[in-house]
């Protein structure tokens, strides 16, 4: 009987991750110019969406930004939407727009001053935090923090989600 239970447990461990992918919760936030933007809207026009949570006080976040901008510039026409979500609270949110301009980010940057969206995706609120959402709306990759070289793995995951070799 214990052999049967062990086999059943192993089967669940092998099959369950293949059969289930978490659906990305929809959200609507305002961008740095007060325009309302939703995940469902971004998904309508793109194959995949890369959501990056960050804050102005987070140095690794700022180091990662040029890599996200490069992905946006290179793969945006192939169906990638990059969106940044600044998690700064109301006191520091005034610093978001100047930082976006100084980094020359051309992808949308949204404000989550109440931490309502970051809490859905990243309850521990580790920053930066990146989520890749496929065309079916499923979260297929996530990554916490940033170290030099992480952008290589992220690019590989994005290309795979786009179906590009």
| Residue 10: pLDDT over 80 | no
Domain containing residue 53: CATH number? 3.40.30.10
Task: Select from 130, 151, 145 the least CA-distant residue to 24.
Answer: 130
Q: How many domains does the chain have?
A: 1
**Is 105 within a domain?**
yes
| Interstrand relation of 36-38 and 28-31 (parallel, antiparallel or unpaired) | antiparallel
Average pLDDT over the chain, rounded to an integer: 88
Tell me the two tokens of residue 119: 């809490």
**Is 15 within a domain?**
no
Place of tokens 């100047």: 98
Task: Select from 163, 124, 159, 158 the least CA-distant residue to 51.
Answer: 158
| Residue 2: pLDDT over 90 | no
CB 131 within 8 A of CB 106: no
Tell me the two tokens of residue 102: 């100084």
Q: How far apart are the first and last CA of the chain?
A: 46
Domain that holds residue 50: 22-162
128 φ, ψ to 5°?
-70, 160
The string of pLDDT tens digits covering residues 134-165 is 999 999 999 999 999 999 999 999 999 999 86
Q: How many CB atoms lie within 10 A of CB 65?
A: 23
């Amino acid at each position: 009987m214990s052999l049967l239970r062990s086999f059943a447990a192993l089967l669940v461990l092998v099959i369950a991750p293949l059969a289930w992918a978490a659906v990305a919760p929809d959200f609507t936030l305002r961008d740095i110019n007060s325009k309302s933007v939703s995940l469902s809207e971004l998904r309508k026009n793109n194959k995949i969406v890369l959501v990056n949570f960050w804050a102005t006080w987070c140095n690794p976040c700022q180091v990662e930004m040029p890599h996200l901008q490069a992905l946006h510039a290179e793969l945006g026409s192939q169906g990638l939407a990059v969106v940044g979500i600044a998690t700064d609270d109301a006191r520091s949110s005034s610093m978001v727009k100047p930082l976006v301009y100084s980094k020359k980010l051309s992808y949308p940057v949204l404000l989550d001053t109440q931490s309502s969206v970051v809490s859905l995706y990243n309850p521990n609120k580790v920053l930066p935090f990146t989520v890749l959402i496929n065309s079916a709306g499923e979260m297929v990759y996530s990554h916490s923090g940033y170290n030099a070289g992480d952008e290589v793995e992220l690019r590989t995951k994005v290309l795979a989600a786009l179906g590009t070799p």
